[in-house]
Amino acid sequence: MEDTKKMRLDRFLTEMGAGTRSRIRDAAKNGRIRVNGVVEKRTDRKIDPASDSVTFDGAEVAYVQFEYYMLNKPAGVVSATEDRIHTTVVELIGERKRADLFPVGRLDIDTEGLLLITNDGELAHRLLSPKRHVDKRYLAVVDGRLPADAKERLREGIVLSDGTKTLPADLKEAADAGNLSGILPDGGGEDSGRAAYILTIHEGKFHQVKRMFETLGCTVTYLKRLSMGSLVLDAGLKPGEYRMLTASELARLKESTR
């Protein structure tokens, strides 16, 4: 278990998703919380998560300081922690222990692919900091034909419709990007009037990938994020599925953002 400092019982239970502080106070008054086997009615008491045993309604509450999940975000789900209309990406993480998870960055509601879900604010800041220029790689299926100089223009940075100039980006035909089995959607290719590309950018402006292709005269009909920094989407994860990051994935991710 991670090294932790002593913390208030109500904070511990709130962070572990047991409920609001008022709900936890009510539960304590009714004898539903035990610390080391003894009923505890004072929720402001300090506990050591590394050594004290806490149960809520008879179920042990294990403390986890940080959680890291790789999610293959499906279309129709919003990159948020709460929403009154749509399902959020955090709600898809059924095994989460902490109540303070959030997505690192955003994908549009119709965009699929890699999202890191965590409560590690420091790592998230490093991944999203404009100064670090972390690579983000996307698969884009587009309608229309790109100009012959599209790669060169993207490599130099293009000016979007609002006058914003993008950082240099790298464009490849999807066929040149290696094995995309299980990733490339059906319906692409020359015969359909659509083509698939891999675009790597180093920033994350609003609707950036779609706006970049629009500037080049094409419309994005399908968009999926394949990687972010050293973290690559597990091809075995179907849309809506997730898994915890492996120790090596997390170590590489932290090392690459130092």
**Cα distance between residue 124 and residue 144, in whole Å:** 35
**Cα distance between residue 219 and residue 211, in whole Å:** 9
**Cα distance between residue 215 and residue 156, in whole Å:** 14
**Cα distance between residue 36 and residue 240, in whole Å:** 38
Instruction: Tell me if 172 sits within 8 A of 197, measured CB to CB.
Output: yes
First-to-last CA distance in the chain?
Answer: 24
Closest Cα to residue 68, out of 205, 244, 200, 216?
244
Query: Within the chain, how many helices (H) and strands (E) appear?
Result: 6, 15
Instruction: Tell me if 143 sits within 8 A of 219, measured CB to CB.
Output: yes
Phi-psi region of 157 (alpha: psi -120 to 50; beta: other; left: phi over 0): left
Catalytic residue (one of 52, 83, 108, 135): 108
Q: By three-state DSSP, how is residue 31 classified?
A: coil
**Cα distance between residue 222 and residue 185, in whole Å:** 8
Q: By three-state DSSP, how is residue 156 classified?
A: helix
DSSP 8-24: EHHHHHHHTTS--HHHH
How far is C-alpha 182 from the chain's CA centre?
20
108 is catalytic: yes
Catalytic residue positions, numbered: 108
